[in-house]
């Protein structure tokens, strides 16, 4: 019945938040046997669409919506319904708060890609907006090895890889520190070597012949 209410709400052109409490209770009650409890694909799709639109309208509910979406992902009808949903990036998974316990946005992302076969590029876009969510990105980066290899080639994955490479290159370009002699002046060869390093780093300072 609540799936039908969600369809009616969507058909009206707006999301009716008054059915959310009942819908949440029904979905959470379905956790033990989602395959038998969740509605058919078409009605499950309506629930997905309702949850997505509600998360855009009521951002404070995103954490609760995530818990319900994880229930949808645990049943075959819910998975098939998500595949049929258009413009999945509207979920804004990177905006879901990581605090408060329970599954995180990265948990949901991992389930969608590893278990449901949905490409990360469908979920994490636009890339520049995703990368602004520092907490989400740091958790994603720490757990990226858990994602399928093909998923890691997404635009966000490439950006993270480039960032790591950039850091590595900057480390390599750091000038070596000349050892400080215990007494007296540094050996001539060490001074010459250090001068060569600076000349290579700053060619404009190279002594002209």
State the DSSP code for 42.
H
| Cα–Cα distance, 39 to 27 (Å, whole number) | 10
State the DSSP code for 207.
P
Is residue 30 exposed (0-12), middle (13-18) or buried (19+ Cβ within 10 Å)? buried
Token pair recorded at residue 155: 């635009």
CA-to-CA dists, residue 165 to 59, 104, 145, 188, angstroms: 35, 27, 17, 36
Which stretches of the chain are DSSP H helices? 2-11, 20-29, 34-37, 41-57, 62-73, 76-84, 105-110, 120-123, 127-131, 134-143, 155-172, 188-201
Judge contact between 108 and 65, C-beta under 8 A: no
pLDDT digit string (tens) for 45-86?
999 999 999 999 899 999 999 999 999 999 999 999 999 999
| Cα–Cα distance, 175 to 161 (Å, whole number) | 24
pLDDT digit string (tens) for 133-182?
999 999 999 999 999 988 889 999 999 888 776 644 444 444 344 445 45
Residue 41 binned pLDDT confidence (cut-offs 50, 70, 90) = very high
Tell me the whole-structure pTM to 2 decimals.
Answer: 0.72
| Cα–Cα distance, 71 to 89 (Å, whole number) | 19
| Cα–Cα distance, 26 to 199 (Å, whole number) | 71
């Amino acid at each position: 019945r609540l799936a039908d209410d969600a369809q009616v709400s969507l058909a009206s052109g707006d999301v009716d938040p008054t059915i959310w409490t009942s819908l949440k209770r029904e979905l959470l009650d379905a956790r033990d046997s989602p395959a038998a409890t969740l509605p058919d694909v078409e009605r499950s799709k309506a629930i997905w669409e309702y949850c997505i639109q509600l998360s855009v309208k009521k951002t404070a509910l995103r954490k609760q919506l995530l818990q319900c979406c994880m229930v949808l992902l645990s049943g075959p009808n819910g998975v098939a319904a998500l595949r049929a949903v258009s413009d999945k990036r509207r979920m804004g998974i990177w905006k879901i708060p990581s605090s408060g316990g329970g599954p995180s946005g990265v948990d949901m992302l991992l389930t969608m890609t590893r278990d449901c076969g949905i490409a990360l590029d469908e979920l994490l876009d636009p890339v520049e907006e995703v990368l602004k969510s520092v907490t989400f990105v740091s958790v994603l980066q720490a757990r990226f090895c858990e994602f399928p290899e093909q998923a890691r080639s997404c635009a966000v994955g490439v950006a993270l890889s480039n960032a790591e490479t950039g850091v590595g290159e900057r480390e390599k370009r750091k000038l070596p520190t000349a050892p400080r002699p215990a007494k007296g002046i540094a050996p001539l060869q060490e001074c010459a070597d250090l001068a060569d390093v600076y000349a290579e780093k700053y060619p404009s300072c190279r002594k002209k012949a």
